[in-house]
């Protein structure tokens, strides 16, 4: 039996650029979160002493690899060295070999795959293990690198593990790098495929396992839920996987049913209850609130104050450990929500008060245009009404996105 840890997409020192309105203490905690998650991985390894650790690319968030991130990463690797744990790793599209960075020397327990597919070998209690992988030599590897992986040596009793940072060919939701198909991976006859690149944890195939462990720490509201790595045991052709959580802050979304909402405090209580439930399940969290099933009454309630004000009171009433990042209103109710808002109302009132001279002024660019002018008919009351409505819609759409 061999036992190893499979992680990928550490994205150490992610800048969390999109999040700007947090108080500084929380922002500091957030900026430390990728390191804290890595620390959880290292501690788990020190405690459980696996036979080896696999890191399948995107260790760093940026191709310039901040010094701080490198120092912290190397310190973790040194602790694994002290615990006698070998590490096999590759670089991905985010931390490709072509980037410009100040190099740290890695400790002797670490094997880094080069730009071509290479094979590393080790023996675990008499069992020969081969690990195959490569690092990105530049950011965009469009080539199907899978063609360069050797076939397994199953017949000779060797365990083969493939490490690959890339995505399934034709998968439109992500930039496709080093594309592969499930079939192409299975054809190699390996015992395990340790993938990286896709941040959502998923097992693409069970026997043998083809696995994305996801990232160690979510970085924005589209990287939801608890994040971590897999601990894998291989025994003959049997594999067992255990997910080990590492994230210290969980991004998630709560849905609030607004059917019955007629007062602000009802909504605040509903948000707090839903948020507490998430926190009890996952620990500290950053939540976006999605308001669904907006009744006319609820629309009326929300139109009385701006989104910023709602968010402000929500944050003020939040428990420790919960941060509300933003509000959304169910798509089809967006326009029903805002035409009534004070801003839209005042703009429409303004437009409605225009006399012919004001209209002429507002539209002079089109009416006096040498090409378009001659083709325009005189402005009717109906057209004015239409323009005023369009202006209202434009404003409410801009405000609600
Ligand atoms: Mn990544």
What is the CA(119)–ligand 1 centre distance, in A?
A: 23
What is the CA(101)–ligand 1 centre distance, in A?
A: 18
What is the CA(208)–ligand 1 centre distance, in A?
A: 23
Q: Per-residue pLDDT averaged across 10-31, rounded? A: 87
pLDDT above 60 for 119: yes
Top-ranked range on mean pLDDT: pick from 23-32, 137-146, 180-189, 344-353: 180-189
pLDDT for the residue numbered 85: 98
What is the CA(137)–ligand 1 centre distance, in A?
A: 15
Residues with CB under 5 A from ligand 1 (ion): 9, 58
The secondary structure of residue 336, as a DSSP letter, is H
**HSE (side-chain half, CA atoms, 13 Å) at 397:** 7
pLDDT for the residue numbered 336: 44
Both tokens of residue 362?
């507002």
State how beta strands 118-124 and 127-133 pair. antiparallel
**HSE (side-chain half, CA atoms, 13 Å) at 196:** 32
Using one digit for the tens of pLDDT, what is the confidence trace for 233-244?
Answer: 999 889 999 999
What is the CA(228)–ligand 1 centre distance, in A?
A: 14
What is the CA(336)–ligand 1 centre distance, in A?
A: 39
What is the CA(165)–ligand 1 centre distance, in A?
A: 8
What is the CA(42)–ligand 1 centre distance, in A?
A: 19
pLDDT for the residue numbered 339: 59
> Which CATH architecture describes the domain 2-245?
4-Layer Sandwich (3.60)
Residue predicted with more confidence, 333 or 25: 25
State percent of the chain over pLDDT 90.
59
Using one digit for the tens of pLDDT, what is the confidence trace for 310-325?
Answer: 999 999 988 888 999 9
Answer yes or no: are the C-beta atoms of 339 and 396 closer than 8 Å.
yes
Structural domain spans, the chain = 2-245, 250-337, 342-400
What is the CA(222)–ligand 1 centre distance, in A?
A: 13
What is the CA(202)–ligand 1 centre distance, in A?
A: 14
What is the CA(397)–ligand 1 centre distance, in A?
A: 33
Side by side, which strands form the sheet with 322-329?
A: 250-257, 285-292, 322-329
State percent of the chain over pLDDT 70.
95
pLDDT above 90 for 21: no
What is the CA(90)–ligand 1 centre distance, in A?
A: 12
Residue predicted with more confidence, 82 or 180: 82
Cα 218 to Cα 33: distance, rounded to the nearest angstrom: 9
């Amino acid at each position: 039996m061999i036992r190893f840890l499979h992680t990928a997409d550490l994205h150490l020192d992610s800048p969390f650029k999109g999040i700007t309105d947090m108080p500084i203490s929380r922002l500091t905690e957030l900026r430390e979160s990728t390191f804290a998650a890595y620390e959880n991985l290292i501690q788990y390894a020190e405690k459980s002493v696996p036979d080896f650790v696999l890191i399948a690319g995107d260790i760093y968030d940026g191709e310039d690899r901040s010094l701080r991130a490198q120092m912290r990463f190397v310190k973790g690797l040194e602790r694994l060295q002290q615990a006698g744990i070998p590490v096999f790793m590759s670089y991905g599209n985010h931390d490709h070999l072509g980037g410009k960075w100040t190099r740290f020397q890695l400790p002797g327990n670490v094997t880094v795959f080069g730009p071509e597919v290479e094979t590393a070998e080790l023996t675990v209690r008499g069992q020969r293990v081969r690990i195959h992988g490569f690092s990105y030599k530049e950011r965009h590897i469009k080539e199907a690198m899978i063609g360069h992986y050797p076939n397994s040596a199953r017949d000779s009793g060797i365990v083969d593990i493939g490490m690959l940072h890339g995505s399934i060919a034709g998968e439109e939701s992500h930039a496709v790098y080093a594309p592969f198909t499930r079939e192409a991976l299975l054809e190699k006859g390996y015992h395990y495929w340790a993938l990286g690149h896709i941040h959502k944890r998923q097992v693409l195939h069970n026997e043998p396992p083809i696995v994305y462990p996801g990232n160690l720490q979510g970085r924005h509201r589209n990287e939801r839920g608890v994040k971590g790595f897999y601990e894998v045991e291989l025994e003959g052709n049997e594999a067992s996987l255990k997910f080990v959580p590492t994230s210290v802050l969980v991004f998630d979304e709560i849905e609030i049913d607004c059917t019955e909402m007629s007062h602000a405090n009802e909504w605040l209580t509903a948000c707090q209850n839903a948020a507490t439930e998430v926190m009890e399940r996952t620990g500290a969290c950053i939540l976006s609130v999605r308001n669904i099933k907006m009744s006319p009454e609820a629309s009326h309630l929300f139109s009385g104050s701006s989104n910023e004000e709602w968010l402000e009171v929500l944050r003020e009433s939040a428990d420790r450990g919960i941060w509300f990042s933003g509000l959304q209103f169910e798509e089809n109710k967006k326009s029903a929500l805002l035409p009534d808002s004070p801003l839209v109302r005042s703009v429409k009132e303004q437009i409605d008060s225009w006399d012919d001279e004001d209209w002429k002024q507002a539209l002079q660019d089109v009416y006096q245009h040498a090409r378009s002018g001659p083709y325009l008919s005189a402005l009717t009351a109906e057209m004015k009404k239409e323009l005023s409505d369009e202006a209202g819609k434009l404003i409410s759409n801009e405000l609600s996105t």
